[in-house]
Amino acid sequence: MKTSRFTGAGLAAFAGAIALTLSACSSGPQGDGANGANTSGSTSGSGSSASGTINGSGASSQTNAQQAWRDNFSSVEPGITVNYEATGSGTGREQFIGGQVQFAGSDAALSADELASAKEVCGEVLELPVYISPIAVAYNLPGIDDLNLSAANVAGIFSGTITNWNDPAIAADNPDVELPDLDIIPVNRADKSGTTENFTGYLAEAAPDVWTEDPNEVWPITGTQSAEKTSGVVQLTQSVEGAVTYADASQIGDLSHANIEVNGDFLAYSPEAAAAIVDNSPAADDATDTILTYDLARDGSVEGAYPIIMVSYLIGCQTYDDETVAENVRAYFTYVASADGQDVATKAGAGNAPISDELRTKVQAAIDTIK
């Protein structure tokens, strides 16, 4: 497959990893394993005497949400310290499976092999969809704040078959926009990323004639411009005129974002339009009462539903060796899934769509099995 090119020296300095670490709102140790964090105390529940530390790692897309959840959870359970490091979805899952953290955040569900490994660590596993967010196609074109892109054009841009912003295919979607004669610089994630898996899943489903790669957490095209973590691709795109990337919509800063074709119309992202996909998607074939995964309808066929979304999960054990750890994880997960938890994340600018009451009931039933 043809790859994208770039000829500006300014990109070289940004092409390396740009780490995003979300430190805890209160200090505490980084943990002693999935089933043995540094903890004390015995009970969980609102305003209880619960105490201890639990540690999480994973999706950088959850950065703003995790900060809001932990800040507000501390007022409900002041004795429990929750640490979360935004290492990326793949690393978060690896650390969870390796017993380094008690929970993970991930923009992709566990693979079959990962699930089997996780079950060896903690028995049954919970995968809870608590963060639903649109993925923006964010671009740097000064003076162009309104841009329409069909699925085929998004796929063409990121596959390298559309290489200039004034390409006739893009112009056809934007008859009233004076498009510049400017190279397109696609920017992708350099690290293993659930956002990448969700984005390539959209491309594969919505434009299979153009995008012939399978969904993957690792960007499948070599020789591209890339950066690590959400913050990295956003910063790189902001620095280079003509650049375009995909990122959690809540974290694109001052970049403009494209309207995406849905049933012949062009739709801007919104949390509500993203949530509509989940409401109209069936459960995955391997879903259970504790693994709440979905086969998302990303093909642009759901009217009024923005098709490029990610469902980000909290991943935890059903059984922990330390009862206090179990109680603290259960308390934190319960807060995250609550109406208040979902609301504080949205108000903090996390960009998420609060989960529906129906989904919350399923999520809470799974959380209640933690022991």
Range 218-241 average pLDDT: 96
Question: For residue 135, which of 264, 356, 291, 296 has the smallest C-alpha distance?
Answer: 296
Instruction: State yes or no: pLDDT of 209 exceeds 90.
Output: yes
Instruction: Write out the E strands in 249-330.
Output: 256-257, 259-262, 265-267, 309-317
Structure tokens at 9: 């020296």
Q: Would you place residue 50 in the very low, low, confident or very high pLDDT band (cuts 50, 70, 90)?
A: confident
pLDDT in tens, 253-274: 999 999 999 988 999 998 788 8
Asked if 61 and 195 touch (Cβ cutoff 8 Å), the reply is yes
DSSP 102-128: SEEEESSPPPHHHHHHHHHHHSSEEEE
Q: Which alpha helices (DSSP H) does the chain contain, by range?
A: 63-76, 89-97, 112-122, 151-159, 168-173, 194-206, 229-239, 271-279, 323-337, 339-347, 357-367
- Amino acid symbol at 12: A
Token pair 């290489």 in the structure block, residue: 163
Residues 89-113: pLDDT tens digits? 999 999 999 999 999 999 889 999 9
Instruction: Report the pLDDT value the prediction gives residue 48, as an integer from 0 to 100.
Output: 62
Beta carbons within 8 Å of 115's beta carbon, 6+ residues apart: 125, 291
Is the confidence at residue 227, as pLDDT, over 80? yes
Domains of the chain by start residue, with CATH: 9-17+135-276 (3.40.190.10), 39-133+282-295+310-367 (3.40.190.10)
pLDDT for 347: 87
Question: d(Cα 197, Cα 199) in Å, to the nearest integer?
Answer: 6
Q: Is the pLDDT of residue 208 over 50?
A: yes
All residues at 6 or more sequence positions from 117 whose CB lies less than 8 Å from its CB, including other chains:
97
Mean pLDDT of 202-214: 97
Percent of the chain topping pLDDT 90: 68
pLDDT digits (tens, 9 = 90+) for 240-254: 999 999 998 988 999
How much is the pLDDT for 244?
A: 98
- Spatial separation of the C-alpha atoms in residues 99 and 106, rounded to whole Å: 16
d(CA 186, CA 242): 8
Mean pLDDT (whole number) for 275-293: 90
CB contact at 8 A, 289 and 277: no
State which of 160-174, 189-203, 277-291 shows the largest mean pLDDT.
Answer: 160-174
Cα 86 to Cα 349: distance, rounded to the nearest angstrom? 17
Percent of the chain having pLDDT more than 70?
87
Give residue-wise pLDDT tens across range 126-179.
999 999 989 999 999 999 999 999 999 999 999 999 999 999 999 999 999 999
At 302 the pLDDT is 87
The predicted pLDDT at position 1 comes to 36
